[in-house]
Structure 1
Amino acid sequence: MRPLLGEIRYFLAGSFYRMRYHELGSRKHPTVVCVHGLTRSGRDFDALAAGLADRFHVLSPDLPGRGASDWLPDASLYQPQSYVIALTHLLATLGERVMWVGTSLGGICGMMIASSPGAPISRMVLNDVGPMVPGRAIARIRDYMSVRPEFPDLLALEAHLRHVHAGFGPLSDAHWEHLTKTSARHLPDGRVALHYDPGIAKPIRTSLAIDTELWPWWEKINIPVLAIRGENSDLLLPKTFERMVQSGAMPHVVKDTGHAPALMDAETIGVVRSFLLEQDKS
Structure 2
Amino acid sequence: MHNPRLDFVTCASPAGMHRVAYWEWGDPGNDKVLLCVHGLTRTGRDFDTLARRLSGEYRVVCPDVVGRGASDWLLNPAFYTVPQYVGDMVTLIARLQPKTLHWVGTSMGGLIGMVLAGSAALSVRMRVARQIHAGSGLAGPGLHVDRIVLNDVGPRLATDALARIGQYVGEGQAFDSFDEAVAYLRQVSAAFGPHTDEQWRELARHVFLQRGDRWVKHYDLGLATPFAAHDDAAMAAGEQLLWHSYEAIDSPILIMRGRDSDLLTADTAAEMVRRNPRARMVEVPGVGHAPTLMDDAQIEPVAAFLREPG
- Which residue of the partner structure matches residue 202 of structure 1? 225
Q: 1:98 aligns with which of 80, 98, 101?
A: 101
- Which residue of the partner structure matches residue 41 of structure 2? 39
- Which residue of the partner structure matches residue 160 of structure 1? 184
- Which residue of the partner structure matches residue 169 of structure 1? 193
Q: Can you list the C-alpha shifts for 1:171-190, whole angstroms capped at 9, x where unaligned?
A: 111111111111121112x1
Are residue 58 (structure 1) and residue 78 (structure 2) matched? no
> For 1:1-282, what aligned pairs fall within 5 Å after superposition?
1-27=2-28, 28=30, 30-96=32-98, 97-116=100-119, 117-118=123-124, 119-188=143-212, 190-208=213-231, 213=239, 214-246=242-274, 247-248=276-277, 249-278=279-308, 281-282=309-310
- Which residue of the partner structure matches residue 130 of structure 2? none
Percent same amino acid among aligned pairs?
40
Deviation at 1:207, TM superposition (A): 2.1
Q: Which runs of 5+ in 1 are unaligned?
A: none
Q: Can you list the C-alpha shifts for 1:143-178, whole angstroms capped at 9, x where unaligned?
A: 122422322211111111101111111111111111
The verdict on how the C-alpha distance between 1:179 and 1:252 changes in structure 2, with shifts beyond 3 A counting, is same
TM-score w.r.t. length of structure 2? 0.86
For 1:121, what is the secondary structure of its paired residue? Answer: coil
CA distance in 2, matches of 1:95, 1:8: 13
Q: Which runs of 5+ in 2 are unaligned?
A: 125-142
CA distance in 2, matches of 1:153, 1:88: 38
For 1:115, what is the secondary structure of its paired residue? Answer: helix
CA distance in 1, matches of 2:41, 2:270: 27
Which stretch shifts more, 263-272 or 6-15?
Answer: 6-15
Q: Which has the higher helix share?
A: 2
Deviation at 1:208, TM superposition (A): 3.2
CA distance in 2, matches of 1:157, 1:14: 33
Q: Can you list the C-alpha shifts for 1:183-214, whole angstroms capped at 9, x where unaligned?
A: 121112x1011110111112113323756522
CA distance in 2, matches of 1:17, 1:265: 34
Amino acid at match of 2:262: D
Q: Can you list the C-alpha shifts for 1:23-81, whole angstroms capped at 9, x where unaligned?
A: 11123261100000000100111111111112111100000010000011111111111
For 2:146, what is the secondary structure of its paired residue? Answer: strand
CA distance in 2, matches of 1:122, 1:150: 42
- Residues 91 and 120, structure 1, Cα contact 8 Å, conserved in 2: no
- Residues 15 and 75, structure 2, Cα contact 8 Å, conserved in 1: no
CA distance in 2, matches of 1:192, 1:111: 34
For 1:241, what is the secondary structure of its paired residue? Answer: helix
TM-score w.r.t. length of structure 1? 0.95
Amino acid at match of 2:256: I
CA distance in 2, matches of 1:148, 1:86: 26
Amino acid at match of 2:33: T
Say how many residue pairs are matched.
279
Q: Which has the larger radius of gyration?
A: 2
- Residues 5 and 24, structure 2, Cα contact 8 Å, conserved in 1: yes
